[in-house]
Amino acid sequence: MESDEAAAASPSGGTVTPAPKKRGRKPKIKEEPQTQQQQSGGKMKESGGKKTKQSVDDKYSQWKGLVPILYDWLANHNLVWPSLSCRWGPQLEQATYKNRQLLYLSEQTDGSVPNTLVIANCEVVKPRVAAAEHISQFNEEARSPFVKKYKTIIHPGEVNRIRELPQNSKIIATHTDSPDVLIWDVETQPNRHAVLGAASSRPDLILTGHQDNAEFALAMCPTEPFVLSGGKDKSVVLWSIQDHITTAATDSKSSGSIIKQSDKSESPSVGPRGVYHGHDDTVEDVAFSPTSAQEFCSVGDDSCLILWDARTGTSPVTKVEKAHDADLHCVDWNPRDDNLILTGSADNTVRLYDRRNLTSNGVGAPIYKFEGHKAAVLCVQWSPDKSSVFGSSAEDGLLNIWDYDRVSKKSDRAAKSPAGLFFQHAGHRDKVVDFHWNAEDPWTIVSVSDDCETTGGGGTLQIWRMSDLLYRPEEEVLAELEKFKSHVMTCASKP
């Protein structure tokens, strides 16, 4: 297929033979979505498929009925094409009832139009502003008025992963089906019209160094402009884009760091600071230490968690040989406690490691194993607001919010729920491939699902914030509810 060949092309030159992706992602369905829906609406021959769809729909209907109770705000945005990644960009404007912020997502097409990187303007409604009846009245097939496409970049190949530079979130990195990492300055990139045959947009910088495709493992450093990647070549690669970044003057048009502009017709490229070997299979995810650009970790299909330190060479500092009972898909390093590392796996669990408990000979048990998913975990991320809270999303269509502090405080009332689990977002009807906490509004999350399996194509982007009654201190919540109860009793007693 032409689209597969295009996706496998490396922006820096050569091509790499495409291979099936892991992580449970299925080939895109080419039929019209309507046809698929008609088929699933009564013409399915397999009773098993019908039961599964009915089960998904029943659970979804139950969830939707609870939206006004569980959520402070929710926006549902239907995607024509699946997006495998979603990330918050910079906040642009603050107003009385809502803030405006950039949102990054992608369009993974079937080749009839180009794959794109989408920059959207998102209106984030402030806490305790949205009316309960409004947040539950949305059409699953419609686009949200809160999300508006602002700029389109035609991406060379499908976008598997998007990550923003913390020092300047208008600079982003993307992974596609090639060995290269692509760097984009979304402010200076021209807006493109995505039509068949249109030439790809030109990346501002290309990071080279992988010997095989690097599809998912990607991270940007919170302390310096460093980029980390992992790939099918079983290696972890580190770059500094410092040489290609310049601190601009204080004029409002170019505040902060920007990528040096190149007059050449081809994108400039930069080689790695280091290439690190220690995995025996594809590296699926990487993460920087929150306190050092020289320390980072990686996980892979060899079931290993590896800690690295660029100052001590290119060999592992610590290697946990069997961190999970299956492939590892994701890892995140706690931004508020640099001893804690989360991992997620195809064994359906999330595990929490304390690096002080790990030894160089690979011995080290997790300090806790979180069991609440029924399918492979695809993404884990710590909350930017509280050091014990994190989220995990999986192929079971759920995004779970956990609090490690609650593990030891489990009450009898919640005996049936997994320890530490205190919120379950069930608004997606297929695998939740990515999510991102909003650092500007810490309890607001954007999540995206690839809906090919349930709706025959496309995806669902949701932006949501759970009710603060669920995460605020218990005594504070009880005091507020008592005041509310008194108010209700007073109103009820009036003639």
In whole angstroms, what is the distance from residue 322 CA to residue 304 CA? 6
Instruction: Report yes or no: 298 and 308 within 8 Å, Cβ to Cβ.
Output: yes
Nearest CA among 29, 96, 156, 46 for reference residue 451? 29
Q: Which of 242, 241, 185 is nearest to 209 (CA)?
A: 241
338, exposed or middle or buried, with CB in 10 Å at 0-12, 13-18, 19+?
middle
8-state DSSP, 9: B
Supply the pLDDT for residue 252. Answer: 37
Contact 438, 101 (CB under 8 A): yes
pLDDT value of residue 15: 43
Helix (H, G, I), strand (E, B) or coil at 75: strand
Half-sphere exposure (Cβ direction) of 359: Cα atoms closer than 13 Å? 4
231-269 per-residue burial string, b: 16 or more CB within 10 A, e: under 16 = bbbbbbbbbbbeebbeeeeeeeeeebbbbeeeeeeebbb
Distance CA 440, CA 142 (A): 27
DSSP letter, residue 166 = T
Q: Please tell me the predicted confidence (pLDDT) of residue 300.
A: 98
Cα 298 versus chain centre, distance: 17
Q: Per DSSP, what are the bridge partners of residue 154?
A: 116
The residues, any chain, with a CB within 8 Å of residue 14's CB and separated by 6 or more, are none
Give the distance, in angstroms, between the CA of residue 16 and the centroid of all CA atoms in the same chain.
26
- Token digits of residue 333: 């390093």
Structure tokens of 435?
A: 């999510």
pTM to 2 decimal places: 0.85
Q: How many CB atoms lie within 10 A of CB 337?
A: 13
Task: Give the separation between CA 483 and CA 326, rounded to whole angstroms.
Answer: 50
Provide the Cα torsion 99, 102, 104, 105; round to 10°: 60
> Mind listing the pLDDT tens digit of every residue in the chain (495 residues)?
333 333 344 444 444 444 445 454 433 333 343 333 333 333 333 444 555 565 777 888 899 989 999 999 999 999 999 999 999 999 999 999 999 999 999 999 999 999 999 999 999 999 999 887 778 788 888 899 999 999 999 999 999 999 999 999 999 999 999 999 999 999 999 999 999 999 999 999 999 999 999 999 999 999 999 999 999 999 999 999 986 654 332 333 444 444 655 555 788 999 999 999 999 999 999 999 999 999 999 999 999 999 999 999 999 999 999 999 999 999 999 999 999 999 999 999 999 999 999 876 666 789 999 999 999 999 999 999 999 999 999 999 999 999 999 998 765 445 678 999 999 999 999 999 999 999 999 999 999 999 876 666 689 999 999 999 999 888 888 888 888 777 667 776 666
- Residue 175 to residue 158: CA distance in whole angstroms: 8
**DSSP assignment letter at 142:** S
Dihedral in degrees, nearest 10, Cα atoms 306, 295, 316, 276: 100
Under a CB-based contact definition with an 8 Å cutoff, are residues 209 and 237 in contact?
A: yes
